[in-house]
Structure 1
Amino acid sequence: MAANNQTLPSKEGSLFRHLVQNYESKQYKKGLKAAEQILRKFPNHGDTQAMKALILNNQGKQEEAFDLCKLALKNSMKSHICWHVYGLLYRSVKNYEEAIKAYRFALKLDPESQQIQRDLALLQVQMRDYAGFVQSRNTMLQARPQLRQNWTALAVALHLNGELDKAENVMHRYEETLKQPPPKSDIEHAEAVLYKNTVIAEQGDVQRALEQLDSISKSALDRTSIMELRADYLLRLDKKEEAEKAYRALLDRNTEKRAYYEGLEKALGLDRTKSEDQEKFREVYQAYADKSQRIDAARRIPLDFLQGDAFRTHADGYLRRMFNKGVPSTFANVKQLYSEPEKLSTIQALVEGYANEEPQANGGAEKSEANGSTDGSHKVNGTNKANDWALSVNYFLAQHYNYYVSQDLDKARKYIDKAISLNSSKTDYTYHMTRARVLKHLGDVDAASKAMNEAREMDLKDRYINTKCAKYQLRNDENEVAVNTMGLFTRKEAVGGPLGDLLDMQCVWYITEDGESNLRQGKLSLALKRFKAVYDIFETWYEDQFDFHSFSLRKGMIRAYIDMIRWEDKLREHPFFTRAALSAIKVYLLLHDKPELAKGGQANGAGGDSAAEKKKAAKKAKKEAEKAEAERKAAAAKKAQPKAVDDDGATKKEDPDPQGLELLKTEKPLEEAMKYLSPLLELSPKNIDGQIAGFEVYIRRKKYLPALKCLLAAYGINPDHPKCHELGGRFKLAIDNLPEPLPKQSQDVIQELYLSRLSPKSLHECNEEYLESHKQSAPHIQSVVRFRHVLKPGEEETKSKGVKDLLATLELPRTSLRDAQEGSQLLEDIQAGADAKKAYVEAARKRWSEASGFKA
């Protein structure tokens, strides 16, 4: 190790080796002491400076570490250690591009370094540079071909790069190098052999995959995977008799897995759409149902394909069996059938018939005439189960009428109240929880929150109901109460209290709900803080795969590793990321449209208050923000307070912006919005809300071609979506009012793809025609009103017309509570005035008397 063409003397050289060992064993204090000893005699020794920088970085002193490492590079530009450390520093701050550059330079200086080569390979797969990953892994294999891990890693690299035949060849070549067969207990070898089989199958050579699978089946450790793959291959090769045997063998192991039944159906050549196959289907499933009273799948699955009287008979038997057993999840198990109206009505008629049955004195019950005859259905093992039967029936009907497809909330409330009266258990909160859900759908979020809390108090040791209660409290905007409820099950010693523990434990649902609650209340800074936390959690999940690039290969879990890589590639398709991203984009659009909101962090009342009230509210919000900042500084000034440490014993950084005020002060809100928007458009292109958000961002950034792309994508997903009409009109309006013309090429694209297809009528005429053709849909009418306001903002006649149209939506039979709430918000957006809002609320109250937003 040289610095300025100097080699350290033996004493300092020994100290440097100790320094490296101290870093690797995380003895940072000893390492720093050794570094200082060397630097006292050799102050410009680059390698020592680099190692010291590495230790400082691990102690959280990133800026100091980078400065010292740059100085080390200046002193020892041709030191591979300095360049390697420089790459490690960039890797620690997630700047992988710069880290890869540094590693490559280090490799030029020391091509034989396995450590640098391995670090480079890990970054390449993290960045999905599969071509580079193949090259690095090939180099590592050439250097150390005796390690099985290097062979496997090269095969994985080729697999991920789409070179399946080469991946198989690498695995085959490794097997040829084995002098004797590995023992049966060698898990790593067993996994590698199965991995090779999946690679063969992915090439489409199913016959060869089957032959290879049969050759390894006796020595394989994962018996279930072997059986599943074999059954799948036989089916794909149309060897139906053998496939049937394979799937029946799987069903003997697990009679509840639907995929096995579906495979058996295909092997038997049965088609669910053919009525002549129904009897054969029924026989197959009945044979499995007869094997044990505990099997549910074989009794439930026939309901998916049976029709008419056959469905009615089977559903009657299935439902009676479940009600006799008192299974609370019966409705959840059959609600998928509600996608077919005939089956919905059949189930409804059957269960309502059960509700009218009178229990017999011997514990049985007479079936109603519509349901056939019975011989004491409610008598199980000689025990009177009449009360349990009635409880199950009423609970099912409560859920049935609470479900959106068959919703009748008055009936739902009647049945759940009856179920609660029949429930003798003082700790079974199930029925009270459903009552809270009914109240939520009625719109009474306050009563729903209280009802869910009553359910929680029935079993204080149950974490599930505690979590449900907190969710309902957040929906009622009781943020402090909700965090205290969650605090009953968080770590008491957690830094930052319950909320700090929820953030540490990456409790995404809570953080998302809390953010949405703050957004509803107009607390934009806190809302942004929560959505940023969700964004960071998904970033962490993506970064967490880094350790598995080496761990999975070391443990030989290759198939699971490939699955993980593919899952990580689609990570941000997750619904919670979508929710948080769309909400964050909404906040940033607000900040762009109304920059004054950044001063106070409040958005409530921005639409309808007077100028004086707005000024007063802003002043109050500013005072609250200053008070919060002062409290934060006072807390930070308490020196006696011990520093927080995490589970690894490292000092935790204090959050410098707990209220999210700095996030709110961004000068470029649309650029911040792009961080959330890009993953949505890339990974969830079929999400129409994401495309709408994309249009809103791009049109404000004056990026007209990307805005058109989002608009056309939205039309492609659902051309009748109300937002499509509104956004299309706004795009035409923006193009017609450009301050300067677009480039000729852009004009041609816009003309060809969109403008040429539009009606020659004016935007106002098109808007009114759209209203005439969608008079029965509240969301479409709201879209018309919103676009009217865009065409003629602030015009009293436009406002008056909009109020009239919105009031009319309350009389439409298809208008939902959510539609009505959207209409109420729209009145504020167009600044319709207090009288219009009052009239709207009074009209809505007649229909949704219990909804929190419309209560007197």
Structure 2
Amino acid sequence: MPQQLSSKEASLFRSVVRHYEEKQYKRGIKAADQILKKNPKHGDTTAMKALIMNQQGKTEDAFTLAKEALKMDMKSHVCWHVYGMLYRSNKNFEEAIKAYKFALRLEPESQQILRDLAILQVQMRDCAGYLQSRHQMLQARPQMRQMWTGLAIAYHLAGQLSEAENVLTSYEGTLKHSPPKTDIEHADAIMYKNDLISEQGDTQRALDHLEKNGKKNLDHLTVMERRAKYLFQLGRKDDAVKAYKALLDRNADHSVYYDELMKVLDIPGEDEAAKKAVFDEYAEKFPRCDAAKRLPLDFLTGNTFREQAKHYLTHMLNKGVPSTFANLKHLYSDDFKKDALLTLAEEYLAANQGEGKSGDVSKGKAAALYFIAQHYNYYLSQDLDKAMEYVDKAIEMDPKSVDFAMTKARIWKHRGNTQKASEAMDHARQLDTKDRYINSKGAKYQLRNNENETALKTMGLFTRQDAVGGPMADLLDMQCLWYLTEDGEAYARQGNIGMALKRFQSIYNIFEVWQEDQYDFHTFSLRKGQARAYIEMIRWEDNLREHTFYSRAALAAVDVYLSIHDKPVAEENQANGGDAVEKKKAVKKARKEQQRLEREAAEAAAKQDPNKGGQQQDAKKVDEDPLGLKLAATKEPLAEAMKYLTPLLQFSQKNVDSQIAGFDVFIRRKKYLMALRCLLAGFDLNPEHPRVHEQTVELRLALNKDQEIPERVLELVNAEFNVDAKTDIKKMNTEFWTKNQDSPDHVLSSIKAQKMLGDDMATCEEAVEELLSMDNVTFEVAGKALQTLRSWRSGQADAFRQAAHDKWPEVTLFA
């Protein structure tokens, strides 16, 4: 039996709870100790003390104490609730849910436990459990609207749309008076209900509901957009035309409205005149509207296109709009339009050689030079010598133009000269030191040139000067993904795999934080009456790892771990440069500096409130691996690679690079079925990809050589694999080579396959060297070839690098 507290000690226990809620942890511990001094076996107090200790960062001690509390009182819902909260804080959600359920059985009426359980269930996407919890919460508090909305959302997430709609309808039936127009929660609930009706496919009922309730809704734009969509879906074309025209009158620069209006008007795709008439109407109605003048260029052809393009281009160049080329470059997939735009820009330039009184001619000439420079810098019309010539002329006319200087830096980048590109972009940055964007571009180009320290100083110009840990700490706090990615890739290029992995680990952790951040919004969104935004957030979170930045960082991390597996290196060789003694000194110095900064931060926080001196949130954890040495010294690199790879294969299945990386990991782990799955997925996505052919050869060879494959596995692989054991792989590789003999990338993969098949090293080296003589070889492919030679530990690598340098003297990679 649990010990009963006296009235004085019961009051003291309530103060423990209050101190915990107010984050006054030292006072809470002191009050708990006073109770335990007289009642050492009081489980609830022991549990609360464990909870406070966990907030102070003493996780292991907190779990030990919580288990003791359970032994003292197994039937205390407080002890079980606290036990669940400890697991929740350590991200062990499954165990936390078990503890909450046990606490709820002991105290079925506890709304706090029920709410915590429901939040964890939706966090884990346990829709059935969440639905049950929401039913109980509604029964306890039926007077609160957010309880009804929460139940509707639970049904929605479970896929039961009609039941979700019925819940909202039931609540509306309980209202004695219609809520005022200013009731934001009611307005959002109305639109959420309309969403549910629409998702059920009942368009007519969705329109009727919108017509009845939409007029007084605060979200006028959404009401107008949905009404137009419903009218079109129902075939009421005349009304839909009026609805989309009303939207265009509201925002004539929204291109989607034009697309939808064309569909409603049922204008044939080849009827250019009819489509142009629609745009001309709005160009005349809204003279400052850009979309009405630019969008016709997408479908116009021949002389009609030329006339419209001339009018648009002349207008934009006269105004000196820097984004003119960016607005038009999507047209370059059409050779006629690409050539026509260049001709028009050259004609404009020829007609504007003099100087106008107000400088308009000069401004237009500089804009035309800038446009032509961008034209020749674009990959579909690339001539970098001409691009440099025109951008230099533009800079001569306006030496202080940041846009012109940035384009010159991009031209150097496309030439492969990262050094000059970095210098040119830094020059552009210095032209406007108050612009954060150009500052970021300068840092990015410095990272591309492997200037990590310089780039950090550049970024430090716009980070918080008082940030503990310097600019990098602030960039981590701000979750600056692009910088962390570029920084990690730069370290990887330099061979500093420790720091590279540290950056990729930071990106992985940021996505973990984003995954966990939704925890607070499960209640916040309902409290604020934002059901639609909440559903949108849930769907976004479900596909979080599809994010481009995650894919890029994960693929880079997998490459690094593969390199560690293929070529293990000792811990002291992971840092970049210096001998082992110097590296150890650098590690020690970095750790001391980090500890000093953290100690100062903790002291500063303690001065503000002595009760928070040991609080975990107020002081960051000391970095025990400042140079990433422990990450690089992993004994199981393939297991670490799987941490990044698993989300890729789950959420980025349409990315061929993800499948290629998956094969590379699984083939090394001798997981042949999984490797085959990735290979087949890669083949479906891009059967002509050079790496897919290379991996096909690699898998067949591995199956032929590995004598320890279980017979059942071998049967399954052979049943699905279209290259059986009797296939002449050398002949297959030769046929692939012959078929793609004009593609340097494919030829390089064929050479690598040839090497795997056992061909003489000298023959393969000679074939790689011959790549440089191909007409369409690029310095990027030559860089891959050089990397291949180095991976073979070829003695011809330096000679190849020199030959590539002679062919591309400006490319930094071969310098």
Pair in the same fold by TM > 0.5: yes
* Structure 1 residue 339 displacement after superposition: 2.0
Q: Distance between the aligned counterparts of 2:428 and 2:132, measured in 1?
A: 60
1:800 paired with 2:768, answer no
Q: Distance between the aligned counterparts of 1:581 and 1:413, measured in 2?
A: 36
> Contact between 1:50 and 1:72, CA under 8 Å: does it hold in 2?
yes
* Structure 1 residue 592 displacement after superposition: 1.5
2:739 alignment partner, one of 748, 764, 773 = 773
* Structure 1 residue 139 displacement after superposition: 1.1
Deviations 1:408-447 (A, max 9, x none): 11111011101101116x3x31100110010011011001
> Contact between 1:786 and 1:830, CA under 8 Å: does it hold in 2?
no
Partner of 1:711: 679
> Contact between 2:546 and 2:648, CA under 8 Å: does it hold in 1?
yes
Secondary structure (helix, strand or coil) at the match of 1:495 reads coil
2:568 alignment partner, one of 592, 595, 601 = 595
- Alignment CA distance shift 1:846-1:265 (3 Å): same
2:436 alignment partner, one of 454, 460, 463 = 463
1:643 paired with 2:609, answer no
> Contact between 1:722 and 1:783, CA under 8 Å: does it hold in 2?
yes
- Alignment CA distance shift 1:62-1:582 (3 Å): same
* Structure 1 residue 342 displacement after superposition: 2.4
Amino acid aligned to 2:738? E
Partner of 1:627: 585
Q: Distance between the aligned counterparts of 1:416 and 1:638, measured in 2?
A: 50
Partner of 1:722: 690
1:164 paired with 2:164, answer no
2:491 alignment partner, one of 518, 528, 541 = 518
* Structure 1 residue 743 displacement after superposition: 3.6
Amino acid aligned to 1:844? A
> Contact between 1:477 and 1:518, CA under 8 Å: does it hold in 2?
yes
Partner of 1:371: none
Partner of 1:608: none
Deviations 1:431-474 (A, max 9, x none): 00110010011011001101111111111111111110000000
1:451 alignment partner, one of 409, 420, 424 = 424
- Alignment CA distance shift 1:741-1:702 (3 Å): closer
Q: Distance between the aligned counterparts of 2:337 and 2:775, measured in 1?
A: 24
Q: Distance between the aligned counterparts of 2:187 and 2:304, measured in 1?
A: 48
Q: Distance between the aligned counterparts of 1:641 and 1:57, measured in 2?
A: 20
Deviations 1:491-525 (A, max 9, x none): 11111111111111111100110000000000010
1:752 paired with 2:727, answer no
Amino acid aligned to 2:718? Q
> Contact between 2:598 and 2:619, CA under 8 Å: does it hold in 1?
no
Q: Distance between the aligned counterparts of 2:806 and 2:386, measured in 1?
A: 19
1:14 paired with 2:8, answer no
Amino acid aligned to 2:587? E
> Contact between 1:817 and 1:848, CA under 8 Å: does it hold in 2?
yes
Secondary structure (helix, strand or coil) at the match of 2:461 reads helix
1:317 alignment partner, one of 294, 298, 311 = 311
1:387 paired with 2:370, answer no
* Structure 1 residue 383 displacement after superposition: 4.1
1:826 paired with 2:810, answer no
Matches within 5 A, 1:784-799: 784-792=750-758, 798-799=760-761
Q: Distance between the aligned counterparts of 2:406 and 2:772, measured in 1?
A: 30
* Structure 1 residue 340 displacement after superposition: 2.1
CA RMSD in angstroms comes to 1.9
Partner of 1:607: none
Q: Distance between the aligned counterparts of 1:423 and 1:457, measured in 2?
A: 15
Q: Distance between the aligned counterparts of 1:210 and 1:636, measured in 2?
A: 61
Amino acid aligned to 2:282? Y
Q: Distance between the aligned counterparts of 2:596 and 2:505, measured in 1?
A: 28
1:813 paired with 2:810, answer no
> Contact between 1:591 and 1:597, CA under 8 Å: does it hold in 2?
no
Partner of 1:27: 24
- Alignment CA distance shift 1:678-1:55 (3 Å): same
Amino acid aligned to 2:580? K
Q: Distance between the aligned counterparts of 1:640 and 1:402, measured in 2?
A: 48
Partner of 2:631: 663
Higher mean C-alpha displacement, 713-722 vs 634-643: 634-643
Secondary structure (helix, strand or coil) at the match of 2:75 reads coil
Q: Distance between the aligned counterparts of 2:316 and 2:593, measured in 1?
A: 58
Amino acid aligned to 2:371? F
- Alignment CA distance shift 1:634-1:26 (3 Å): closer
1:682 paired with 2:657, answer no
Higher mean C-alpha displacement, 435-444 vs 775-784: 775-784
- Alignment CA distance shift 1:179-1:773 (3 Å): same
* Structure 1 residue 635 displacement after superposition: 3.7
Higher mean C-alpha displacement, 309-318 vs 574-583: 309-318
1:547 alignment partner, one of 515, 520, 532 = 520
Deviations 1:55-91 (A, max 9, x none): 1111222111111111111111111111111111111
Amino acid aligned to 2:581? K
Partner of 2:54: 57
Q: Distance between the aligned counterparts of 1:499 and 1:814, measured in 2?
A: 42
| Matched residue count | 805
Q: Distance between the aligned counterparts of 1:338 and 1:632, measured in 2?
A: 51
- Alignment CA distance shift 1:634-1:180 (3 Å): closer
Deviations 1:502-550 (A, max 9, x none): 1111111001100000000000100000000000001111111111110
* Structure 1 residue 596 displacement after superposition: 2.2
Q: Distance between the aligned counterparts of 1:637 and 1:252, measured in 2?
A: 61
2:728 alignment partner, one of 745, 757, 762 = 762
2:34 alignment partner, one of 34, 37, 56 = 37
- Alignment CA distance shift 1:115-1:724 (3 Å): same
Q: Distance between the aligned counterparts of 2:724 and 2:343, measured in 1?
A: 49
Q: Distance between the aligned counterparts of 2:597 and 2:569, measured in 1?
A: 37
TM-score by length of 1: 0.91
Q: Distance between the aligned counterparts of 2:483 and 2:570, measured in 1?
A: 25
> Contact between 1:449 and 1:469, CA under 8 Å: does it hold in 2?
yes
- Alignment CA distance shift 1:152-1:640 (3 Å): closer
Q: Distance between the aligned counterparts of 1:728 and 1:622, measured in 2?
A: 41
1:192 alignment partner, one of 182, 189, 192 = 189
> Contact between 1:398 and 1:416, CA under 8 Å: does it hold in 2?
yes
1:105 paired with 2:72, answer no
TM-score by length of 2: 0.96
Amino acid aligned to 1:574? H
Secondary structure (helix, strand or coil) at the match of 1:527 reads helix
Higher mean C-alpha displacement, 382-391 vs 163-172: 382-391
* Structure 1 residue 623 displacement after superposition: 2.8
Deviations 1:255-276 (A, max 9, x none): 11111111211121123x32xx
Partner of 1:845: 805
> Contact between 1:601 and 1:621, CA under 8 Å: does it hold in 2?
no
Partner of 1:375: none
* Structure 1 residue 625 displacement after superposition: 3.2
* Structure 1 residue 728 displacement after superposition: 0.5
* Structure 1 residue 131 displacement after superposition: 1.3
> Contact between 2:545 and 2:648, CA under 8 Å: does it hold in 1?
yes
- Alignment CA distance shift 1:60-1:805 (3 Å): same
Amino acid aligned to 1:44? K
Partner of 2:511: 538
Partner of 1:329: 323
Amino acid aligned to 2:318? N
> Contact between 1:122 and 1:550, CA under 8 Å: does it hold in 2?
yes
Q: Distance between the aligned counterparts of 1:601 and 1:506, measured in 2?
A: 26
* Structure 1 residue 54 displacement after superposition: 1.0
> Contact between 2:446 and 2:452, CA under 8 Å: does it hold in 1?
yes
Q: Which runs of 5+ in 2 are unaligned?
A: none
> Contact between 2:352 and 2:364, CA under 8 Å: does it hold in 1?
no
Partner of 1:485: 458
1:496 paired with 2:469, answer yes
Partner of 2:386: 411
Higher relative contact order (CA 8 A, sep 6+): 2
